[in-house]
Amino acid sequence: MLGLDLTDKLVVAVGGGPVSTGRVGDLVARGARVRVISPQLSAGLHELVDAGRLDWVARPYAGPPDLLDAWLVHTATGDGAVDGAVAADATTYRIWCINASAADEGTARTPARASVPTPDGPVEVAVTASGDPRRAGAVRRQIEASLSRGDMDLRRRRARPGTGWVALVGGGPGAEGLLTLRGRQLLACADVVVVDRLAPRGVLAQLPEDVRVVDVGKDVGFHAVPQERINQILVDEALAGHGVVRLKGGDPYVLGRGGEERLACEAAAVPVEVVAGVTSAISVPAAAGIPVTHRGLARSFTVVTGHDQVPSLPTGADHTLVVLMGVARLRDTVAAMIAAGRSADCPAAVVERGLLPGQRTTVAKLGELADRAAEVGARSPAVVVIGSVVTMAPEWSRQASSLSSTVSSPSPLSSNPGSAPPLSAPAPPEDR
């Protein structure tokens, strides 16, 4: 089986029906110069003509002169005799020909193809099955699904001729199932993975052994690697010709400093892609049964990282506040909210380890939240939610009659959270 580079090469397609539409569209996308010979065209081919992406000869096939200068011929008129004549003429003039009416009578075959885009160019797999296109198509779909999931090692084996690339991948709250397909594809292409503490670390064990993992995780009160150094690691690895995935918790652009990393790459002329992730600001409350908006309760929400911004935010319970990295400074944040005008009776919750084993929800009135969190030993990673929407949480319903004297119980998945960090300690700058 051969792969043909048809970029800027003439391909003649005889026939303007649905079979030609799919094949011609693919050829045009691959950069071929396509001429269609047919009295009529499908709507799809008309669109390509109107866009100036192919030439149309509006008449039936007229013999060998129609094939002049072609590198490849595709015939699909729906008339076996005409398609056979086109195939015979192409063979006479030593032009490869795909005969859609009778594949075994042409000199070329169209395989079922699977493809996945990568920073180093698409990886494509062609499948044939002894003249059985439906069988080939079924196999192709399975291969394509595996490629899309990142199940296969897609790394470049030949040295890159110049600079490598960087992908800033949002890994979600930490559960592997919330990593996007594009994120998995890029991990399958990576030579180096630079990982955060709150990223879905379980996927690291699935990487080939020779993929280098650089741990730059931050913890409460301790930044192992400063952000400026992380930026430099990404740039240096890419300039060394490596494919680099920066695997982050949450979404790179939601309090994840992804913008800084992207700008550092762009300043060094390093190709960079940003892959959105599932942000914990929405997904972790959802895991606890708390929608950030709900008709009749809240129509808007704000995501913040600490108490400094609180005085300028809406104070009504119908505006949801989501605080990321807020457990360490929770007492100060609560005091600032109440001082700014939010009611001490406003429903509030702390959701720890959202979507992970040991997830736990603690609910209380806002004025009592810091005490409740201290009692249960709440600790990062956690998301704080304040507003009427907290009443949607099953934990709130279970404790509605005793919120002033009872704290929430761990969920069946809970594990001992250990001791809590000091409530005045600085918080780690990660999307959690």
Ramachandran class of 174: left when φ > 0, alpha when ψ lies in -120 to 50, beta otherwise: left
Burial class (CB in 10 A: 0-12, 13-18, 19+), 416: exposed
Residues in Cβ contact with 197 at an 8 Å cutoff, skipping those fewer than 6 apart: 217, 218, 219, 249, 428, 430
CA angle 391, 392, 398 (to 5 degrees): 70
Catalytic residue status for 365: no
**By three-state DSSP, how is residue 307 classified?**
helix
Catalytic residue among 83, 191, 218, 251: 218
192: which 2 tokens?
A: 């180096």
Catalytic residue status for 218: yes
Element (H, E) at 238: helix 227-239
CA angle 56, 62, 66 (to 5 degrees): 60
Catalytic residue among 196, 248, 251, 431: 196
Residues in Cβ contact with 411 at an 8 Å cutoff, skipping those fewer than 6 apart: 359, 360, 361
**By three-state DSSP, how is residue 248 classified?**
strand
CA distances from 282 to 323, 334, 371 (A): 11, 20, 25
Element (H, E) at 142: helix 133-148
Please spell the DSSP secondary structure of 345-385, one letter per residue. TSEEEEEESTTSTT-EEEEEEHHHHHHHHHHHT--SSEEEE
Tokens 């009872």 locate to: 406
Q: What's the rounded Cα separation, in Å, for the pair 169 and 173?
A: 12
CA distances from 3 to 119, 124, 268 (A): 20, 10, 35
**Cβ neighbours around 308 below 10 Å, total:** 12
| Contact in structure between 324 and 280 (CB atoms under 8 Å) | yes
**By three-state DSSP, how is residue 57 classified?**
strand
Residues noted as catalytic: 196, 218
